[in-house]
Amino acid sequence: MRDLVLESVLTCPHCGSAQRETMPTDACQFFYECPNCKALLKPKPGDCCVFCSFGSVKCPPMQQGRRCEG
């Protein structure tokens, strides 16, 4: 199994601001407030978390071929 990537760059779809964040390994992150425009990001339909929707790297559970677990 390959090593997990624990950092992802979240890009705000509203203002285009990009921020490197460390992903949690024990829970999904459903909400993220953009530090630039203060928009509250939520996962797109069908995605489990904001990293899967707006990140440069999918969340750790998805990297392992499973879904986030709350």
pLDDT band at 2 (very low <50, low <70, confident <90, very high): low
Q: In the predicted model, what is the mean pLDDT of residues 6-26?
A: 95
Residue, of 25 and 32, whose pLDDT is higher: 32
- The pLDDT confidence band at residue 43, using thresholds 50, 70 and 90, is very high
The Cβ of residue 48 has, within 10 Å, a number of other Cβ atoms equal to: 20
Average pLDDT over residues 15-44: 94
Per DSSP, the three-state class of 55 is: strand
Task: Give the separation between CA 64 and CA 34, rounded to whole angstroms.
Answer: 27
Domain boundaries, the chain: 7-63
pLDDT at 1 over 80: no
Q: Is 53 helix (H, G, I), strand (E, B) or coil?
A: helix
Mean pLDDT of 25-52: 93
